[in-house]
Amino acid sequence: MATTPLSLEQLPQRQRATVAGIAWDRLTAPEGRRLRELGFDEGVGIEVLHRARIGGGPIACRIGRMTVALRRRVAGAIHVATDQLG
């Protein structure tokens, strides 16, 4: 089983992953504070549920039991690791 790192923005829909890290320096202070308040941290399970069809629209993801909408730029700062079977 190999781990493949990528950004949350690149994660395919309905594929579960784990937050591997967050590029806090790419986020504004309010964005970083919001992510921390919502429980985004290394080791947390995450899954992309939906992407807006309009270019650059938000991404809905599940973290824990919550559904959260994130701007694509913010999702691009969240690095995730997936387990590839095969």
Domain housing 41: 2-84
Distance CA 22, CA 81 (A): 12
pLDDT, position 86? 39
**Consecutive 10-residue averages of pLDDT for the chain (86 residues):** 74 93 96 94 94 86 93 94 66
Count of domains observed in the chain: 1
Token code pair at residue 24: 């806090």
Measuring CA to CA, how many Å separate 32 from each of 13, 15, 74? 24, 24, 9
Token code pair at residue 70: 């994130």
CATH code of 54's domain: 2.30.30.90
Report the predicted TM-score, pTM, of the whole model to 2 decimal places: 0.86
